[in-house]
Amino acid sequence: MTEGKAAARLPAALESRRGDVEGALLAILPAEGAEPRDLVAAMRYSVLAGGKRLRPLLFLAGAEFSGPDRLPDDAIEAAAALELLHTYSLIHDDLPCMDDDGLRRGRPTCHVVFGEATALLAGDALQTLGFELLATRPAGDARAARRARAVAWTAEAIGVQGMAGGQALDLAATGAVVPDAERAGLLRRIHSLKTGRLIRLSLELGALHAGADAGRLRDVSRYGEALGLLFQIADDLLDVTQTSATLGKTAGKDSIQDKLTYPVVFGLEGAFRERDLALAAAREAARDLEGDAGLLAGLAAFAAGRDR
């Protein structure tokens, strides 16, 4: 999406770190022209297509109020791993056998440019590279237990009971007849797994590397859960209220594909109400973490305000 047109903005303290995230992504991706040439080009094309870098910034936000430890410099490369994992999921979701989408961030999708086989491998290799970074950054023997835990949490969040599972539920639900009484529950479950888990995880990993204790981690998870929901409701609303040019991806796609979304299940006004409930929950969780500091509350406002 184009941030300039959005009503809300990312909090300045996070916005100012986006350049560091871009630098980290350039540092961790294979160099331009490296072998295997097509695969490397496809990975770079999709990762370096712009975007808010939301998940790495959430990692940094999660570290901010959660623990006593200052993040070492190379933690930014662990944060950047989350962008690789997000990009892997986008590349595979866009493939013809999945959502068959030709436009993403205002550009042709990976398989349109590089072919399906290379796009498939680019997604595969980005998942792998994400895990490699989480297993090696931040460096140092003293941090090995946190790194191993980061890999385990991430795998749980993106695997069969997480992001990939949400995608599978979405596939099964698309075009299927879901009884009315089950629609809201199924929708929440799909969204929570498909998008919410990775957003929550990003905050949790920052907290983990900042040395958060169990109580603090619970608060971070609660905030992350609400924030993830907020982003997803807002995304569903964007799909019906914006044009493709503004979105940078195909608009109205959800309804064409008969997807289960908040506007479909709750109606447009109902979806806005759900959005406001999630915003209130995120603000309350933010207060427990940061007091009146405002960074996490600002993030919630950003998530909610993108469609107004």
Output the six-digit token pair for 25. 């992504």
Q: Which C-beta is closer to a second copy: that of 93 or that of 307?
A: 93
Q: Which residues pair with 104 in a beta bridge?
A: 107
The whole-angstrom separation of Cα 182 and Cα 11 is 37
By CB under 8 A, name the one of 15, 22, 38, 74 that touches a second copy. Answer: 38
Output the six-digit token pair for 161. 């009971």
Q: Which C-beta is closer to a second copy: that of 12 or that of 172?
A: 172
User: Interhelix angle for 262-290 vs 295-305, to 10°?
Assistant: 170
> Could you give the count of Cα atoms lying within 13 Å of 291 in the half-sphere of its Cβ?
3
Q: Which C-beta is closer to a second copy: that of 22 or that of 38?
A: 38
7 binds a second copy (CB under 8 A): no
2 binds a second copy (CB under 8 A): no
264 binds a second copy (CB under 8 A): no
Query: Segment contacting a second copy (CB under 8 A): 46-54, 70-78, 136-144, 255-263?
Result: 136-144
Between residue 92 and residue 121, which ones bind a second copy under the rule CB under 8 A? 92, 95, 97-98, 115-118, 120-121
Q: Which C-beta is closer to a second copy: that of 104 or that of 197?
A: 197
The whole-angstrom separation of Cα 262 and Cα 264 is 5
3-state secondary structure of 103: strand
3-state secondary structure of 50: coil
Q: Are 231 and 203 in contact (CB under 8 A)?
A: no
Query: Segment contacting a second copy (CB under 8 A): 1-9, 10-18, 152-160, 285-293?
Result: 152-160
By CB under 8 A, name the one of 16, 27, 37, 182 that touches a second copy. Answer: 37
